[in-house]
Structures are given as structure tokens and as C-alpha cells.
């Protein structure tokens, strides 16, 4: 029994030393290795679409919850529920009571900035076709989500100037980090 433990230890030690030696190889490529391809300035521009909480980066366009409701029913309701209450995807509306043992984090109860709705939707929605919505559709969808959460009126126009001014219920629920 003692001999078999010693053999196992020697074998494990040998394997570990072999792995260390393999990882410590001094092989380095002296040039391109043929993976990927160069990216063009236009490709970078198409993905440089971030929007900060102040609204920097918001594009031209506008929309209301009235228009957004139709778009939402066509593009969003199958995953997020008829009124944003959830379905196969996350809830978007309601969810108050974050100071409970079972908080429900939704756009209306948790997200601190309205610009994040536009930014996230622009990048990732609809799930099967991200970046396929026009700016007007994005503003309308954002307005509808804000309306579902009782944050704006149904006829409020959302655009690059008005969207950053919307006060989210949990705006002061986070500690800002200076970068």
C-alpha cells in the first residue's frame, strides 16, 4: 500500500513537472500567425455606439410610447410579456420594493439611467436581430418601456435631448465610481 502511494506521488509529480515544462516553452511567433483579419475604420465606427448616462452618443431621431407600443407588441412581447411583466425573458416593468428580501429588479425599479435602456436595446435587441431597429424605433421602444414603468406619459417625446433628463426611480441607488 505504501509503495503504491509512492508510485502515485511520483507519477503525479512527473505529470505536474511535464505540464510546467510545456507551459514554459520559449516558442514565440516572429510574425502574424494568420488568425483574424484587420478591421477597417468603418467597421470600428459601426460598433462605436456607446451612450453614457448624460446622453453623449445618442443619435438623431425621436419616438413616443404610443408608437412604441405597436413596435413592442411586434418585436418584444413574445419574450418580455404583453406589458413587460416577463415571459421567457426578464421582466421590464414593475418590480418595486427593492428593500425587501425578494426584490424584483426591473428597468423601472433598478436601472439608474434611462439612456441605458436605449443603449442596451440598440446593441442587443431584438435578440434574433440586434442593431436592426432604427433610431426612431429605439426611441419609441425606450419611451414605451418608460411608460410601462409609470415614469413618463404615453405621449412624451423621447429624443437625444429629452431622454437623459428623465429621472429614474433608482437613480440615487448607486455609488458612482470615478474613472
pLDDT in tens, 113-166: 999 999 999 999 999 999 999 999 999 999 999 999 999 999 999 999 999 999
The tens digit of pLDDT for each residue in 65-77 reads 999 999 999 999 9
What value does the mean pLDDT take over residues 10-33? 73
pLDDT at 49: 87
Cα distances (angstroms) measured from residue 92 to each of 1, 28, 72: 62, 49, 12
- What sections of 76-168 are H helices per DSSP? 77-80, 114-124, 135-148
Q: Is the pLDDT of residue 56 over 70?
A: yes
CA distance 59 to 169: 24
- Binned at pLDDT 50, 70 and 90, residue 2 comes out as low
Q: Is the pLDDT of residue 18 over 80?
A: no
Between 114-124 and 135-148, two packed helices, what is the crossing angle to 10 degrees? 130
- Binned at pLDDT 50, 70 and 90, residue 25 comes out as low
The tens digit of pLDDT for each residue in 82-101 reads 999 988 889 999 887 787 78
The CATH architecture assigned to 61-165 reads Orthogonal Bundle (1.10)
- Binned at pLDDT 50, 70 and 90, residue 35 comes out as confident
What value does the mean pLDDT take over residues 22-47? 78
Amino acid at each position: 500500500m505504501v509503495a503504491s502511494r509512492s508510485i502515485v506521488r511520483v507519477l503525479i509529480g512527473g505529470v505536474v513537472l511535464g505540464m510546467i515544462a510545456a507551459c514554459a516553452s520559449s516558442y514565440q511567433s516572429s510574425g502574424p500567425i494568420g488568425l483574424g483579419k484587420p478591421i477597417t475604420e468603418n467597421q470600428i465606427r459601426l460598433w462605436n455606439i456607446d451612450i453614457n448616462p448624460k446622453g453623449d452618443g445618442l443619435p438623431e431621431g425621436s419616438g413616443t410610447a404610443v408608437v412604441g407600443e405597436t413596435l413592442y407588441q411586434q418585436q418584444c412581447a413574445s419574450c418580455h410579456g404583453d406589458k413587460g411583466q416577463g415571459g421567457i425573458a426578464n421582466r421590464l416593468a414593475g418590480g418595486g420594493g427593492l428593500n425587501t428580501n425578494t426584490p424584483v429588479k426591473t428597468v423601472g425599479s433598478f436601472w439608474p439611467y434611462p439612456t441605458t435602456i436605449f443603449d442596451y436595446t440598440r446593441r442587443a435587441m431584438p435578440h434574433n436581430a440586434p442593431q436592426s431597429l432604427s433610431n426612431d424605433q429605439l426611441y419609441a421602444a425606450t419611451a414605451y418601456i418608460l411608460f410601462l414603468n409609470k415614469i413618463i406619459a404615453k405621449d412624451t417625446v423621447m429624443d437625444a435631448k429629452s431622454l437623459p433628463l428623465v429621472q429614474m426611480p433608482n437613480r440615487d441607488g448607486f455609488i458612482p465610481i470615478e474613472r
